[in-house]
Chain A
Amino acid sequence: MMMRKYITIQNNETIDFRTIPSLEYKEFLETNILFLKDVNNHCVNYFGFPYAGKLKLVCCIANDSKARIKLTCADINIGTNDVYPSLSAHNLALNIFERELSENFGIKYSDHPWLKPVRYPVDRFDKSSQISNYPFYQIESEELHEVGVGPIHAGIIEPGHFRFICKGEQILHLEIQLGYQHRGIEKLFLEKNKLLQRVILAESIAGDTTVGHASAFANIWESLCGFEPDEELRFVRTIALELERIAIHTGDLSAICGDVAYQLGSSVFSRLRTPVINFFQAWCGNRLAKGLIRPIVNNYIFTSELRKLLLKILDEYEPDFNEMIKKLFHNPGCLVRFEKTGVVSYGQALKIGAVGMTAKASGLNRDIRLSHPSDLYKNFVHQPVIKHHGDVFSRTQIRREEILQSIAYIRSILEKIPPHQNRKEISPKPRENAFTISLVEGWRGEICHCAVTNELGELINYKVKDPSFHNWLALALAVRRNGISDFPICNKSFNLSYCGFDL
């Protein structure tokens, strides 16, 4: 009988970690490359951690048409001079994962196309590799010049360094160097052993995606403990996810208008965001929903007064929003800056494994709410908003349509508020030797968390992946052949996370 090469699970399913077959590295590589030839499959996470004296590699490939996730494993030796063929040579989407593996554990690849540091973690394998001497790509030419931007930027945003190679005004090449936001957050998940500490960590992975990351953590923890979330918990997470989407998308529209110097749009969208995040404050006391999402319990009852307040906010929001967005999309001065700027083609998006809004703007249908639904998304058929031009305009249009879609979803969910479960203090323990994966569609795209426990049920590995991990490369590609003055608008149209990259 042929040995099974992989195991398939669903989103939020917990299995015995030891049942994932461990393959020879060569077979591991070939199996996963074969999976990725199917356009319905994409890699949602690929990571390694020390396990039984070796380095355990785990690759998670999601099949988006069947709502299944294929898991494969390989054990390789650490600290030897072995050189491995890379998966990236066959599939570019995996390049960032292998860069991370190489940086953390010193794996040597024979044919990786772009083996550079990712984030200079404090416990990196090669301590001589310093953030101050990142090996930037260079072109020797008297006609070209380099422009360095960051890590500290002109606005109030997170740090990251951009190095442009330009010919006159035009960008030939952009290299993005990150790592300034490295806080060692994955290790802290293992070291901090109180559940409350861990969920606060999850909320702090990216403060603009509090609900997204906290939901992924809550789902993973509940699954590890064998706890089935009830209707109320699903309701809270779904409403909060959609509200977060509305709030951040609206703020992004404001920033996009700001970057093309359209003051009216910038002011109106920025003030339209206010009542939405103030609703979070009325619900849970925090404008960015910190404290709202907790595993197993719901501390903030969604009352009928809150329902009334939210409906009122949405009723007032919608006409003002529609009026402003219509005006924006009829403003030739803005459209000329949006259209055909910062284009990512379908082929590029597919090749680099783009997810979320970035993928959807280029015609690539990647939305966890449809492909691997959890929470209340199981109850309705989500229709992802897909655009095809892959430019700033497409990414702006997606925001408009997703906001209106989220409002409609919230209205329909609000028709029935599930009763509050006054759950007694229960604190179930995670299963032993378990593996769980959780996928959540945050406003930016697919969030993936993976957890592994040991024979005592303690976490031995916690892996966080923000959608930005895939999508930063899309920004680098998008700005090629664009004027450097269009960089801010391109950057804002993606609005990727830096701290979501720290992990």
Chain B
Amino acid sequence: MINTLKILKHQGNQFIKDVTKVVLQEPFHGRPVISNVKVDEFELINLCPVGAIKTQPIQIDLGKCTFCSECAIKFPDKIKFTADYKISTNDPLSLIIKEGVDKTIELNPGLIRQEISSFFHDSLKLRQVSAAGDNSAELELNAAGNVNFDIGRFGIEFVASPRHADGIVITGPISENMAMPLQICYDAVPDPKIIILCGVDAISGGIFSDSPALNRKFLDKYKVDLYVPGNPPHPLTFINGVLDLIKKRK
């Protein structure tokens, strides 16, 4: 008993008091900023391993970006990854970062369905489906629930059964072999329900996007409520995105 108390005392306070105000330090790779400096555009586009960079104007699609930061290493005057981790959004257009624009990424309130904020504001139960995820985004989602980040304090929780859930969080590029289980799981969630895509693999397929072993037809059928970019996304990216979705962030 004494030893248990000692352990408790030695831990101190581990939780992050305000998860919406944490400042991460570089070299964390968060929201990129693209300057107006002129560079060899062909070389820049060719460098990107996943075709996330396009021109006119030069832009990076965070839904495709694996955050390898090779572009920033090779073109440090042109591209810089800031430590801004608040990059979740419900609008795919907000995922596209254009040159010369240094603006925070936010959710588009007009796209949030009325029932999401009214039903889920104080309690949101989620079912996680790993559809060929590589276990990195899964590890970070688990971390979101640990004593440091403690997502449970907001009434947000991962549950074991889709029957108990208000929505699903998909990780991984969605393999052909997981397509049916994913559909069955989604169908088992009662209405109204939300879909969150967590990580670059889920949003665009990432490095696997042109693999014939994927089947992403599920995503053609339903509206996605939240995109959480990253490879894997930082727990704070996920938490802040979800808080915005249920209008909990002050």
Contacts and interface: CB of A to CB of B under 8 A. Distances in A.
Interface string A266-285: 01101100100000011111
Contact of B232 (A207, A320, A327, A497): A207
B134 interface: yes
B129 A288 contact: no
A121 B132 CA distance: 13
B218 interface: no
A285 B134 contact: no
B7 A264 contact: yes
A154 B50 CA distance: 32
Contacts of B70: 196
Nearest to B235: A287
Interface residues of B, number: 68
Contact of B211 (A154, A184, A284): A184
B129 to A, nearest CB: 6
A499 interface: yes
Interface stretch (B23-31, B101-109, B112-120): B23-31
A82 interface: no
Nearest to A187: B211
Contacts of B6: 323
A286 B133 CA distance: 17
A177 to B, nearest CB: 10
A300 interface: yes
B25 A282 contact: yes
B89 to A, nearest CB: 21
A452 B181 CA distance: 36
Contact of A267 (B141, B147, B210): B147
A182 interface: yes
A207 B129 CA distance: 16
B213 A207 contact: no
Interface in A252-274: 264, 267-268, 270-271, 274
Interface in B103-162: 127-143, 146-148, 158, 160-161
Interface in B36-60: 47, 49-50
A154 B160 contact: yes
A196 B213 contact: no
Contacts of A288: 136, 139-140, 232
A197 interface: yes
B66 interface: yes
B207 A204 contact: yes
Contact of B136 (A151, A192, A207, A282): A207
Contacts of B176: 122, 182
Nearest to A425: B74
Nearest to B178: A180
A20 B70 CA distance: 38
Given A284-B27, A290-B231, A179 B4 contact: no
Contact of A152 (B29, B73, B129): B129
Interface in B88-102: none
Contacts of A65: none
Interface in A80-134: 119-123, 131-132
A74 to B, nearest CB: 28
Nearest to A123: B212
Contacts of B172: 181
Interface in A148-204: 151-152, 154-159, 179-185, 187-188, 191-192, 194, 196-197, 200-201, 204
B173 to A, nearest CB: 6
Nearest to A267: B147
A131 B11 contact: no
B130 A156 contact: yes
Interface in A26-54: none
A208 B135 contact: yes
A299 interface: yes
A143 B8 CA distance: 48
Contact of B175 (A152, A183, A267, A287): A183
Contacts of A181: 132-133, 172, 175, 177-178
Contacts of B10: 319-320, 323
A251 interface: yes
Given A181-B132, A197-B207, A207-B136, A285 B81 contact: yes
Given A159-B181, A208-B135, 11 more contacts: A123-B212, A131-B177, A183-B175, A183-B211, A200-B50, A208-B136, A274-B143, A281-B24, A281-B27, A285-B28, A290-B67
User: Top 5 nearest A-B pairs by Cβ distance?
Assistant: A207-B136, A184-B213, A207-B134, A154-B160, A285-B27
